[in-house]
């Protein structure tokens, strides 16, 4: 009976791992990848000279609203036109503009683990 319960438990854990983006060899999915997806970002893997890196591309205002530290704004940078753009760059993100039929919007690409660290503060 204990062996049957163990097999059922392992089977369920494997199914959960696959559902969360993992594989049989990686255990549960990468929490930064999952978090990026859950907040509306687009996770991706890029090649760097140091190896692979997980990146999360997310609309800059979404990132700003979800992770913003209100102590960040000071009297000197409150005059900037777009504090979300400034915040993206402050936390190490790369800012770029996307043009769509509805207009332009700023996007911020940030390493997934950096985004995960910000979320866990």
The pLDDT of residue 118: 63
> Would residue 9 count as lying in a domain?
no
This prediction has a pTM of: 0.45
> Please, what is the Cα angle at 32 between 31 and 37, to 5 degrees?
95
The pLDDT of residue 19: 45
The pLDDT of residue 78: 52
Kindly list the distances between the CA atom of residue 72 and the CA atoms of 3, 38, 46, 83, 109, in Å, as whole numbers in the listed order: 55, 25, 29, 10, 19
* Burial letters 52-80, b for 16+ CB under 10 A, else e: eebbbbbbbbbbbeebbeeeeeeeeeeee
Q: What is the distance between the alpha carbons of residues 115 and 62, in angstroms, rounded to a whole number?
A: 12
pLDDT band, residue 121 (cuts 50/70/90): low
| Domain total in the chain | 1
The pLDDT of residue 94: 87
Q: Which domain holds residue 88?
A: 27-119
Q: Say how many Å lie between the first and final Cα of the chain, rounded.
A: 43
111, 56 Cβ separation under 8 angstroms: yes
**In this model, does residue 98 exceed pLDDT 60?**
yes
Quick: pLDDT tens for 8-54. Answer: 333 333 343 444 444 444 456 788 888 888 888 899 998 888 888 88
> Would residue 104 count as lying in a domain?
yes
- Relative to beta strand 51-59, strand 103-111 is antiparallel
């Amino acid at each position: 009976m204990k062996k049957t319960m163990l097999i059922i438990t392992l089977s369920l854990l494997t199914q959960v791992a696959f559902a969360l983006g993992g594989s049989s060899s990686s255990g549960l999915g990468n929490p930064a990848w999952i978090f990026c997806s859950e907040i509306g970002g687009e996770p991706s893997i890029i090649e760097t000279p140091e190896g692979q890196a997980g990146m999360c591309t997310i609309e800059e205002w979404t990132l700003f609203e979800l992770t913003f530290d209100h102590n960040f704004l000071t009297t000197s940078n409150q005059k900037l036109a777009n504090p979300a753009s400034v915040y993206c760059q402050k936390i190490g993100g790369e800012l770029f503009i996307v043009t769509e039929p509805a207009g332009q919007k700023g996007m911020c690409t940030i390493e997934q683990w950096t985004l995960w660290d910000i979320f866990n503060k």
